[in-house]
Amino acid sequence: MATGLYLGKEVDPKTGALGARLDLDPADLVTHGLIVGMTGSGKTGLAIALIEEVLRQGVPVLAIDPKGDLGDLLLLFPDLAPASFEPWVDESAARREGKGRAEAAAEAAAAWSKGLAEWGLSGKDVAALKERHRAVIYTPGSQAGVPLNVLQSLEAPAVPFASAEEDLRDEIAGLVSGLLVTVTKLPPFIATLAMMSVARGLANMITDGSQIVGFPDWFTNLSIVRHFGFLSVTVGLMIVLAIVFAIFLNYRATGRNLYAIGGSAEVARLSGIPVKSLTNWVYAICGLLAGLAGIVLAARLDSVQPSSGVGYELDTIAAVVIGGASLSGGIGSIGGTAIGVLIIGVLRNGLNLLGVSPFVQQVVIGVVIALAVATDTWRRRRQ
C-alpha cells in the first residue's frame, strides 16, 4: 500500500535484517491514540514516525509535547548537506574523537543519508515534511521561543490588613514556608519545622509567655453549643472544609495537579504545571488553615498560650499516614485523613479513660507513627 502511512519495516529479531514495509491506512486513524510499552521499547520513535507521516499526507496535526521528546521534528535538513549539520555539532565530543567541526558534520550528514536510504527515504521526503509543519516552542520564564507566564500575580492581597490581621499573618507564615521550599530548595519537612519554631518563638515574644483569657461568651459557644442536639460550629466548620477540599482535590484540574506534583515535581514541571506557584499557594493555604485551627482550639479551651498545640504535629503526621497518605507524596485523600484523625482521637481518649500516663501515651503515639511510616514504605516497595 504505497499511499499509506509509512511506519518503517519489519525487523528480524534474531538477525536485525530489514524486511517488508509496514504501512498504516490513513482511514484507520482516530482523533486520539495511546502508545504503550516498556522503557526503551521505541514508543517515542513510533510517535515521531507516525506524526511525520501524517503531516506528509497533509493531515492537520496539533502535537503538544511538554516533555520535549518530539524535538527531533525540528531537525529537518532536506539537502542532507554537511553545512546544515555543522551548527548542531558538539565540538567537545568531536575534539575527544580527534575530529574538527566540519569533519563531524560531514559524518553526521553521511549517517543521515545512509540511515534514510536503508528505510527507503531520501532528502525529498524530508523536504515534503518540512513544507507541511511549523513548530512553536513555549518557554516559561524565558524570552527564548514564545514566553509563557506561569505566575498569575505577585501583588499584595486586596484584603485590608487591619480587618484580617490574624488570617493574613498565618497565610504569610505559610507562604514563607513555601518560598523556603521552592526558592532555597530546603526539604519541606525542614522548612515547615523551622517556620514552626520561628512562629512559636514570636508567639512567646508577643505574649511574654503568658496565657490570654477573657474571651466573650459567643466565641466559646462556638465549640460548646450543640445545634440540632449534636453539631457545634467548630465541628460543622471541619465537615465543610473537608467536603470542599475533597471536591477540589478530586474534581478540579488544580487539585489533580497537586497529586502530580507530589508524585514527581520534575515530571509535573515538564508537563507544563506551574510547580513553584502551586507549591507556594499550598503552603500559604496550609498556614491559613493552621491559624484557623488555632482559633478553633482557643474557642474550645477558652484561653490561648504559646505552648498550646505542642506535639500536635506528630499526631498530624500519624493521622495522615494512617489515613493512607504517602510521605513521599502523590498519594492520599481527605476521606482517609479524616479516618486517620478519628483513629488518633479515639486512641488518645481511650488511653486517657484507661488512666494511662501522658508519658506512656507519647511512647504509644511514637510507635504508631513508626509503624504507619514503615507500612507506607513497605507498600511503596511492593508497588
How sure is the predictor about 64, in pLDDT bands with cuts at 50, 70 and 90? low
The pLDDT tens digits of the residues spanning 307-356 come to 777 778 878 888 888 888 877 778 888 888 888 888 888 888 888 888 88
Residue 175 to residue 235: CA distance in whole angstroms: 27
Cα 341 to Cα 312: distance, rounded to the nearest angstrom: 11
Are β-strands 138-140 and 5-11 bridged in parallel, bridged antiparallel, or unpaired? Answer: unpaired
**DSSP conformation class of 310:** T
Instruction: Check residue 1 and give its pLDDT.
Output: 39
Q: In this predicted structure, which of 9-23, 236-250, 275-289 has the lowest mean pLDDT? A: 9-23
State pLDDT tens for residues 147-206.
555 444 445 545 554 555 555 555 555 555 555 555 566 677 777 777 788 788 888 788
Cα radius of gyration (the chain): 30
Q: Cβ neighbours of residue 278 under 8 Å, at least 6 residues apart?
A: 254, 257, 258, 261
Determine the residue type at 258.
L
Contact predicate 347/329, CB 8 Å: no
Task: Indicate whether 28 pLDDT > 60.
Answer: yes
Q: How far apart are CA 215 and CA 203, in angstroms?
A: 18
Q: Which pLDDT does position 175 carry in this prediction? A: 56
Specify which residues 18 forms β-bridges with.
Answer: 11
Q: In terms of Cα–Cα distance, which of 105, 128, 118 is closest to 56?
A: 128
Output the nine-digit C-alpha cell for 308.
498550646
State pLDDT tens for residues 262-302: 888 888 888 888 888 888 888 888 888 888 888 888 888 88
Q: Is 301 exposed, middle or buried (0-12, 13-18, 19+ CB in 10 A)?
A: middle
For 249-266, the pLDDT digits (tens) are 888 888 888 888 888 888
Say if residue 26's pLDDT is above 80: no
